[in-house]
Every structure is written in structure tokens, then in C-alpha cells.
Amino acid sequence: MTRLSLPYPSRSALPPVWLVAVLALSLLVLSAPAQATSRIKDIVDIEGVRDNMLVGYGLVVGLNGTGDSLGGSPFTRESLIGMLERLGVNIRDTGLDTDNVAAVMVTATLPPFARQGTRIDVQTSSLGDAGSLLGGQLLVTPLIGADGEVYAVAQGPVTVGGFSAGGQAAQVTQGVPTAGRIPGGAIVEREIEFALADRDRLHLALRNPDFTTATRITRSINDAMGTRLARASDPATIELRIPPDRDVVGLITAIEQLTVDPDQPARVVIDESTGVIVMGENVRVSTVAIAQGNLTVRVTETPQVVQPNPLAEGDTAVVPRTDIAVDTGEGRQLGILGQSVSLQDLVQGLNALGVSPRDMISILQSIKAAGALQAEIAVM
């Protein structure tokens, strides 16, 4: 009887030991959870590199009968008379009646390092009782800053995303037709001086101040640069020293790309108006028992019309019919959340009780009052 034997691979056909180790290490790295690291660029602001708000008052003309009524908007009337007088037209003693003009507030954001002649976008919003700014043209409007100086001048056709149409019996409005936008509608006339290249020190402002995050950013910068350039003066500010022989722009570019793992406090944010609840991953709950139940009474009135039989005497009458339903919440049981449960366990436990977001807000506040919620509650 012939014995069949399976061929075994030769020693040379087996993968080397180092290859097996590399493959195992790769699988281990891929299966490990990735940390939520962020670039320093995304969590800090650089001192002096900031936007500035501009505002102005102007007139939009060319509206097709959807402008302000001059009787109901006296500021529009006076602005129109003043503008025409500057152009040499005197109509102060005449009866002025037009609905093709609207008074608007013009706003814009002046970006950092905006040079003279640069164009920026502007937004227009109606002040009076105009129905729509569609098809309007904004006249020359100076835009001033917080110091009262003019930094830009706006003019151009208004782009409106909404519309309004209707008749005597119905009307349809989509979007906001009384607000518009002029892309590139303002020209920068004055620059904000800020000599970034001449600075020997800069300050990095954390958008979410935190001691741990500030320490991690400082350590990351010093380790990457090989010298002590950064120092955390407080949880919201990091002082950065600029070496004399170093390019400021190049140094900031290198620092912005460094990554850190920002820390966040345990916080529960509650929006009472919308019922939205946002909880951080570090929220913990000590051992606590929760019971939730509401007494709901529904009263439904369904009146019924009763009529007499044919050829019978009597009057048509309305007989009241009342249906009362009471929900005591007897099906809901007492739930227990274990010691130091995580955010996922907390959410699953509250969902298992069948509570709504509104009831969940009250439960979280009650848990906090009992001292079992190890987090801060911020009510918006």
C-alpha cells in the first residue's frame, strides 16, 4: 500500500522572522485607536493677525417698486434728499414719492494684512419697510471701523438669494429677500499697519483656554525647534520668542503645522430652547439610580350633532362628547447607572429608560444636583 505524504515547504520558502514581526507590528498599529490630534494652526490665534469689522449706511436704488415707503421710513427720505442735494438737485420743498429706493446697513470684514486697492465682500440689510432688494444697486457707501476712520468704500449690484411674490389672496416668500451680498463690492482705501517681520516676540492665544493644552503646545514647539522658544504665561496665552536670525513668517509656518492632542474639560452643554444636549467624552457619572415618569392627562372634545327622526318633532342639537386618557408612566422602571460610567454608558442608560431630550435635560440637572455627575453643566 502506497502512503501519500503532503509536501512540506522548504526552509527557504518560509518567510523570514523579521518579516513576520513587521507584519504583526503593522496589524497592531492599524488596530490601535488613533488619537485626536490637531494642528496648532487650528487651535490658536496669533497676536495681531485678526479681522476688523466695518459698517456703513447707504442707499440701494433701482428697485422695482419694492423699496421703502418714504412716509413710513423718514430716514430714507432724508438720505435721498441729502444725496440729491450733494449732486446739485434741490427737491426739499417738493412732494417726493418713490418706492424704488431702500435704506440699508452695509457690513464687511477687513481681513488681516489687506492692502490698499484690495476688494472685499460686503453684506447689505434693509432698514425700512422694503419688500425686496432684488435688482438693486448700492450707491457709494463709506465703511468705517471702530475708530471712526474710513477703511473701505462699497458700491455695486446687490445679489439676493431669496424672493417674494404674491397677490391679493396668497403670497410666497423664499429666503430673505431684504438681505443681499455684493461679492468684491468694496475697495480697501486704508491699511492697518502691523509690522509682523519686526516683532521679536509674539503671543499665541488659545481659542479654548486650558492649562494642559497650553503645556502640550509649549512642549511641542520647544521639542521641534530644539530650543526654548515658547513659554505658557497662562492657560490662554503662549509667549513665543523670535530668534534674531530667524524669519518670522517661516517660523510661524513651521509652528502652525505641529500637532498636539488638546485636552478638554468634562462639560455638558444644554440648549433649553431647542432641547439639544452635547456631552464631552470625559463626562463621568458615579453610581446613581434614575426613575423617570410623567403624569399626562389628555382631554379630547369631539362634539356630536344629533338630529330628530324624519317627520318627528324636535330640534337639531349638539351633544358634547369628552374622552379622557391618563398616562401615569407605569411602564417605566428604575434604572441604575454603575460607578464611573462612560459617556456611551450614560447615553445608553438614559435611552433605555425611554426618555426624550427634554426629560433628559431635567435628569442631567438632577444628577448634577445629587453630586453624581462629574462634569460642568453649561446652559445656553
In the predicted structure, residue 49 carries a pLDDT above the cut 50: yes
In the predicted structure, residue 230 carries a pLDDT above the cut 90: yes
Task: Provide the percentage of residues in the chain whose pLDDT is more than 70.
Answer: 74
Model confidence band, residue 371 (pLDDT cutoffs 50, 70, 90): confident
Return the pLDDT at 137. 95
Return the pLDDT at 111. 94
β-sheet bridge partners, residue 187: 119, 153
C-alpha cell belonging to residue 222: 520647544
Catalogue the E-assigned strands of 11-134.
38-39, 44-46, 52-61, 101-110, 119-126
Return the pLDDT at 325. 59
In the predicted structure, residue 296 carries a pLDDT above the cut 50: no
CB 39 within 8 A of CB 197: no
Neighbours of 75 (CB within 10 A): 13
Return the pLDDT at 10. 44
Return the pLDDT at 239. 95
Model confidence band, residue 173 (pLDDT cutoffs 50, 70, 90): confident
Which residues, 6 or more positions from 12, have their beta carbon under 8 angstroms from its beta carbon? none
67-71, 142-146, 315-319 — which one is most confidently predicted on average?
Answer: 142-146
Return the pLDDT at 330. 57
Residues 313-321, mean pLDDT to the nearest whole number: 73
In the predicted structure, residue 8 carries a pLDDT above the cut 80: no
Residue of 114, 146, 106, 107 lying closest to 50 (CA atoms): 114
Return the pLDDT at 4. 40
d(CA 188, CA 151): 6
- Does 234 or 163 have the greater pLDDT score? 234
State phi, psi for 236 to the nearest 5 degrees: -110, -10
d(CA 327, CA 268): 31
Model confidence over 250-263: pLDDT tens digits?
A: 999 999 999 999 98
In the predicted structure, residue 317 carries a pLDDT above the cut 70: yes
Region of poorest pLDDT, from 27-36, 234-243, 258-267, 293-302: 27-36
d(CA 157, CA 62): 10
β-sheet bridge partners, residue 143: 152
Please, what is the average pLDDT of the chain? Answer: 79
Residues 160-172, mean pLDDT to the nearest whole number: 71
Phi-psi map region of 339: left, alpha, beta (phi>0 left; psi -120 to 50 alpha):
beta
- Does 31 or 187 have the greater pLDDT score? 187
Model confidence over 345-355: pLDDT tens digits?
A: 666 666 766 66
Model confidence over 277-290: pLDDT tens digits?
A: 888 777 877 776 76
Region of poorest pLDDT, from 109-113, 180-184, 317-321: 317-321
